[in-house]
Each structure stands twice: as C-alpha cells, then as structure tokens.
C-alpha cells in the first residue's frame, strides 16, 4: 500500500523526554517514531471493539504499521511543504565549505526537496538558506520552533495538593504559527487503517508527552495525503523513522555500502497501571536520516522486547520498543 501522510496541527507546546538515563531535562523537540508508535499501540484497545489488554501484546511485538518521526511542514507561498530528514554525513560530501560553515550546518536536520537534491549531487543550492535546524530553498517567514521553559510547582499526588517551595522548570518546544508536523504511515496490514486513524484522533485529544493536564501535546488531524512520495532517485533507502534492524537484516547486508547511518540510544520509563515506574532496557537504534542498503524488501526493522512480563514489579505484559521504519527510495550520495 502507498504511504499515507497525516498533517497535524498542534494546539500547544510539546514536552518529550528522550529517555536518556540520568538526564530528565533532556528533551526531543519533535515526536519520534518510537514514541508515536508506542502511544498509538497503547490506545489500541480503546478504539477496537471488544479488544482486551492481552490483544495488544502481539500488536506491540509485531506492529501492523510503521510510522515516521514527525516532519516539519511549513506554510510557504500559500501552500504547505513537508521537509525531510537530511541524510547522515551529507555535508561531509560538499566541497569548498569553510570550517565555520560546516560547524553551522551541523545543526541542520531537515531540508526541502530542492535542497536535498542539490546535497545529493554534492552541492548546496544557490537559493538555500538555513532556518534553525532546516535548510529551505524558498523564503520562509517566521520561526520553526523555539524551546522555552516555565516554572511549575511540584504536586503531592497522594494528597492532591501543591508542595510548598518545590518549584522546577518545565521545558517544551513551541511551534511557530506557520508550522505543522506531518507523520507518514506505512500500512503493513491495510486492514488496520481504520483502527490506527481512530487511535491517532484519540491521541490528539489526549495529547502526547508530558504536561498534558496543562495543555501540552494536543493536536488535530488537519489533512490526510494519500500516496506520499519524494522524487530522490533510487539505489538505497532513506529512513524517516528510528530503525531497529533485525539480526537477519544485518546479516543480509542492510548496513553495508552504500549505507550511511547514525546510532542513537533510546531508553525511558514504563508506568503500567498498578506498578511503580520501571526503567526500560536501553536500545541502540539507527537514527532518522540514515541511509540503508536497499534489500528489495517492503519493510525494515523489528520491535525488541525491553521489559519482560512478571518479575517483582508484577508487570502484566511485556513491553516492546517500536523499531519498524518508514523508508523511501533515495540515490546514494555521490552516486552518478
């Protein structure tokens, strides 16, 4: 099935922890694929008639869909334009850049299609400009997003009352007025589309990330685009998601040339009903924007178990890290 893109209009800021151990203040600016997939799967039983908690475990272990990390979508010249992830290491292939310029470009994570095509050819488009973490070839007015914090008072959950003197900073990413976020879904099992769209709508009502009780993380589905694609050539695959390759995929050469990839560690906590917070096993994943070898398959990635059921905490079901990815064709950088 063709890819489907959902443009989301957020109603407030976002507070998304990276799950990096020992750094609770470390935040992701935009939602990443594993966070989105896990949130959708957690709502599955609420949108599927007659579904029980036990029905969710096989879906979490082998999701019938893959979802991208959030892609900035900008209002430019009266139309919406979705940016894509910049391929890993792409700026190292651009000649005649000063050290100061290369340092500046390290911030760039996203680019529009024209900027990407120029980069794949080993150059920077003449009309490309850097806007924070994005490279855009058209004139964009306004900011993409900004990170701000506010003071909050810690609450005693048992007594439902504020705890005097315990103030802390609560950070978040605030999107600009001309910015939306797009997620791209690959329906591995086409029959799950109704359920996923219902879960996505419910997630928008409930919100994603922290601070939902004070207006963070809520969104509405603004537009659905059938047949999402990007004309970037062929010969390799560009990942729009965090990817956890299976052993069999690695042994088949997924990460062999022309692959160019970065690795990130994803951890965090699980707080099932009736249990204390449980530290999930950290998992190394291939980052968004990585280029992988095209093995001629329809789908890539697997969802490893990060918490087993049972144990002293009494966890009723295992917990998985979503690692199946949305990928699109791309010409390997430097290829003729």
Return the SS3 of 17. strand
Residue 334: which region, alpha, beta or left (left: phi > 0; alpha: psi -120 to 50)? left
**What local confidence, expressed as pLDDT, does residue 24 receive?**
46
Query: What does the block give as tokens for 68?
Result: 């991208």
CA atoms within 13 A on the CB side of 98: 3
**What local confidence, expressed as pLDDT, does residue 160 receive?**
52
The rounded distance, in Å, linking the Cα atoms of 332 and 336 is 9
Return the SS3 of 57. helix
Give me the average pLDDT of each 10-residue run along the chain (336 residues).
Answer: 93 82 67 96 90 85 97 95 96 91 94 96 95 94 85 54 58 93 97 97 95 91 97 97 97 97 87 62 95 96 88 71 97 86
Residues 25 and 171 sit within 8 Å (Cβ to Cβ): yes
Return the SS3 of 123. coil
Q: Which of 34, 63, 28 is nearest to 282 (CA)?
A: 34
Give the distance, in angstroms, between the CA of residue 41 and the centroid of all CA atoms in the same chain: 15
**What local confidence, expressed as pLDDT, does residue 271 receive?**
64
β-pairing verdict for 236-239 and 327-330: antiparallel
List the Cα angle 24/25/31 in 5-degree steps.
Answer: 90
List the Cα angle 77/78/82 in 5-degree steps.
Answer: 80
Residue 72: which region, alpha, beta or left (left: phi > 0; alpha: psi -120 to 50)? beta
**What local confidence, expressed as pLDDT, does residue 279 receive?**
76
Residues 54 and 317 sit within 8 Å (Cβ to Cβ): yes
Helix (H) or strand (E) holding 204: helix 193-206
**What local confidence, expressed as pLDDT, does residue 61 receive?**
94
SS3 content of the chain, % helix, strand, coil (to 5): 20, 35, 45
**What local confidence, expressed as pLDDT, does residue 147 receive?**
86
pTM score of the predicted model: 0.91
The rounded distance, in Å, linking the Cα atoms of 280 and 177 is 35
**What local confidence, expressed as pLDDT, does residue 72 receive?**
98
Residues 308 and 315 sit within 8 Å (Cβ to Cβ): yes
Q: Which of 38, 16, 31, 23 is nearest to 272 (CA)?
A: 38
């Amino acid at each position: 099935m063709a890819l489907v893109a959902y443009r989301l209009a957020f109603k407030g800021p976002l507070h998304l922890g990276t799950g990096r151990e020992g750094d609770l203040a470390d935040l992701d600016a935009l939602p990443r694929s594993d966070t989105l997939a896990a949130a959708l799967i957690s709502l599955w039983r609420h949108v599927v008639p007659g579904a029980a908690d036990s029905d969710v475990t096989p879906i979490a272990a082998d999701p019938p869909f893959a979802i991208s990390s959030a892609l900035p979508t900008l209002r430019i010249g009266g139309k919406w334009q979705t940016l894509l992830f910049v391929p890993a290491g792409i700026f190292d292939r651009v000649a005649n850049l000063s050290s100061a310029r290369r340092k500046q470009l390290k911030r760039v994570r996203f680019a529009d299609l024209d900027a990407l095509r120029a980069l794949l050819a080993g150059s920077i488009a003449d009309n490309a400009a850097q806007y924070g973490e994005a490279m855009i070839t058209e004139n964009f007015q306004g900011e993409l997003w900004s990170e701000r914090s506010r003071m909050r008072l810690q609450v005693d959950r048992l007594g439902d009352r504020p705890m005097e003197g315990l103030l802390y900073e609560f950070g978040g990413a605030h999107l600009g007025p001309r910015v939306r976020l797009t997620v791209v879904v690959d329906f591995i099992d086409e029959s799950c589309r109704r359920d996923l769209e219902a879960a996505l709508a419910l997630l928008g009502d409930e919100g994603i990330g922290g601070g939902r009780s004070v207006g963070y993380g809520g969104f509405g589905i603004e537009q659905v685009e059938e047949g999402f694609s990007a004309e970037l050539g062929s010969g390799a695959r560009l990942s729009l998601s965090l990817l956890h390759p299976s052993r069999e995929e690695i042994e088949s050469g997924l990460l062999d040339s022309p692959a160019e990839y970065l690795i990130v560690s994803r951890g965090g906590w699980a707080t099932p009903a009736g249990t204390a917070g449980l530290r999930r096993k950290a998992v190394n994943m291939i980052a968004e924007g990585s280029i992988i070898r095209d093995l001629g398959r329809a789908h890539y990635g697997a969802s490893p178990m990060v918490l087993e059921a049972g144990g002293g905490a009494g966890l009723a079901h295992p917990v998985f890290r979503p690692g199946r990815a949305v990928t699109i064709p791309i010409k390997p950088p430097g290829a003729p």
